[in-house]
Amino acid sequence: MKKDLRSHWSLRFLIIYRKMVTRNGMLYPILGFASCVAFLYMSFGDLKLSASFTKGPRFSFVERNGTQFFLNGKPLYVNGWNSYWLMAHSVDESSRPKVSAMLQAGAKMGLTVCRTWAFNDGGYNALQISPGQFDERVFKALDYVIAEARQQGIRLLLSLVNNLQPYGGKTQYVNWAWQEGVGLSSSNDSFFFDPSIRKYFKNYVLTVLTRKNTITGIQYRNDPTIFAWELINEPRCMTDPSGDTLQDWLEEMSAFIKSIDKNHLLTIGLEGFYGPSSPKKATVNPEQWASALGADFMRNSNITNVDFASVHIYPDQWFHGLGFEEKRNYVSKWMHSHIEDCDKELKKPVMFTEYGLSDQNKDFQLSQREQLYRTIQDIIYKSAKKKGSGAGALVWQFFVEGMQEYSDDFGMVPWQSPPIYKLTIEHSCKLARIQGLIQENGNLKQLCSKRK
């Protein structure tokens, strides 16, 4: 690619120079030569940043075949993490080193996918300032995140909107419609049924998917660095517990995304609760409330344009009267149930895209976090060995030193928790061996050689 660029600009230089020589005698060739040198300098100056991001690993799109992900014809199983803050922390160039450090650290642990926000609606450093109005500074921050992830060999699962209020979410869309006098309702759930708000969101999706990265020059929809799109983080529509409203929105938006981008996989962002029509609502859901949230794991995940199912794992948020061992046993039941659903009925992969254990629990010990994570990772490993649908899990959440304002009671700097750090690397290596990747990847070969 670099040779092609040089040949292109060299040819343009010769054409311009010859024209100036033949038309203007002796003085103008000198001026012409100086102009061409300046022209070339400015042109290659614009390419400097882009060229620095062309040395990363060669990427192909992740595909799905039945219940498995495939990459370059081989099954792919994911050990990954969440760092929702990557775009927000890339707006100011002075804080970008922390983004780079987090992605480098992920790669050094053998992690392959990072889930992060591709939205910030309204408020401070918003990507979307108002419907259809974008801050180019923030878009360039997202450009940087994608380019830097590619450099480190990390793929991104990009979420497009929040069901919750942080970073705007559906509340911000409803407020915009209300302020413009076109909103049908002040209810947050009108995000799912108001035609004006649906139009806002579709315009946002179109703008993001067709965005041309200012660093790499690649449109997002054509960039294999992006592992998949996630429609919405933890969707709920409690005003319609039948689930019809959310189902209609998911069907429309998933079809819309696929009409623009046929390269990437698509998931929803569900928590995984079974809906009112599911027989598992009484046997697997944490409690009765979980079936009345307007979401339905089986029905939602069965949408044709949804490529893989998504599930979250937060036993200490769902139960308050159980001890740690009871919660850990429940997690095993929860995961096996969803893997079974995807193996036998949905015929799609399932990713556990968030899992964590709060350090604010009264009886919290770091060893509990290690035990829970080991349980989750062992279930993924066993499914992978059987070529099952349990395709991977992403811990919530990792960050680096000096970022306490972005942390929560689940977050951690992984290398400050040696048992978690060691466990994470071991799981990466176990999955890599199943996929036959260790000999092909220098980083994994070095990382896993001592962990046979």
Catalytic residue annotation: 234, 354
CA distance to 156, 197, 203, 441, per residue, from 153 (Å): 10, 36, 30, 11
Q: Read out DSSP for 255-316?
A: HHHHHH-SSSEEE--------TT-GGGTTTSSSGGGGGSS--HHHHHT-TT--SEEEEE-HH
Q: Which has the closest alpha carbon to 341: 304, 388, 305, 401?
A: 388
Q: Which has the closest alpha carbon to 428: 13, 92, 204, 113?
A: 113
| Spatial separation of the C-alpha atoms in residues 308 and 294, rounded to whole Å | 20
Sign of CA dihedral 163, 168, 171, 172: negative
3-state class (DSSP) for residue 395: strand
| Spatial separation of the C-alpha atoms in residues 337 and 317, rounded to whole Å | 19
CA distance to 47, 243, 368, 407, per residue, from 136 (Å): 19, 37, 43, 26
Q: Which has the closest alpha carbon to 92: 152, 155, 141?
A: 141
In degrees, rounded to 5, the angle at the alpha carbon of residue 309 between the alpha carbons of residues 308 and 313 is 140
Widest CA span in the chain: 92
In degrees, rounded to 5, the angle at the alpha carbon of residue 178 between the alpha carbons of residues 173 and 183 is 85
Q: Do 21 and 14 form a contact (C-beta atoms < 8 A)?
A: no
| Spatial separation of the C-alpha atoms in residues 229 and 353, rounded to whole Å | 12
3-state class (DSSP) for residue 82: strand
The reply to whether omega before 219 is within 30° of 0 (cis) is: no
Sign of CA dihedral 440, 446, 450, 451: negative
| Spatial separation of the C-alpha atoms in residues 28 and 83, rounded to whole Å | 57
